[in-house]
Amino acid sequence: MIKIYSLDFNIEQIADSGQCFRINQTSPGTWRAAAFGRSLTIRRESERDYVFECSREEYDKIWLDYFDMRRDYGRIKELVRSANDPYLTAAVDYGYGIRILKQDLWEVLATFIISQRNNIPRIKNTVARLCEPYGDRFPPADVLTRYSERDFQALGLGYRARYVQNVSRAVVNEELNLDKLKLANYSDAIEYLKRFDGVGDKVANCVALFGLHKIEAFPVDVWIKRVVDERYGGSFDISRFQGYAGIVQQYMFFYERFLKKKQNPL
């Protein structure tokens, strides 16, 4: 067991932040995360105290980097607060425990294609059904090339089935080279990804942020567009947050969903 005390970690917030689809609450105060073919049980003992049910070796090898525990999020939050932006200050205070996960690149690419025009509960359900035959392992691209469009449709992918089918084939054929993508800078990675059917600007930026850990990426979905339009008059200067704009985006996304739910609880 590994005990974690942090002012900048909240597994419930991370699980509901829209950046990953395989962290789920299993019982009060307990969550299960699946990544890289492994699973981890996380127990909350208090607001700031957590227990990771794994060995020190496994924590150091997988979960330390997966949860981006080496990064000083406290410092980043102070930088955001120093911008004297009341909305962002409130967003940081509300989403204080969010961290940008370092996820498997292929899993992020496939799941964010699935995420298009979709909501988080439905995405999680679809991804769970997709992974069910493989336990903690997300099915690799060569496995998914054997799925027909009808197979994908049965899992609830809808029109996204064709996109997942095509991108799986592109990865297997090395038309989409994941190793090459890992070496690309942010702008080159975005342009490279957008060459493939089903990958637009939003999905490409999500892959850059959550799969390549390009913290400067700033995905704009319907929630972020709403924030920019309604809170900032249609223009948001991300250059104020150069080098960590993606973290700011997550605070905005998480907080805005909370505000809308508060306004419309049903």
Residues catalogued as catalytic = 202
* Distance in angstroms (rounded) separating the CA atoms of residues 9 and 185: 28
> Looking at this protein, which amino acid is placed at residue 249?
Q
Residue 58 DSSP SS3? helix
Task: Count CB-CB contacts under 10 A for residue 251.
Answer: 25
Contacts of 90 (CB under 8 A, 6+ apart): 255
* Distance in angstroms (rounded) separating the CA atoms of residues 35 and 99: 16
Cα dihedral sign, 37-24-212-203: positive
Q: Extract the tokens encoding 247.
A: 């973290």
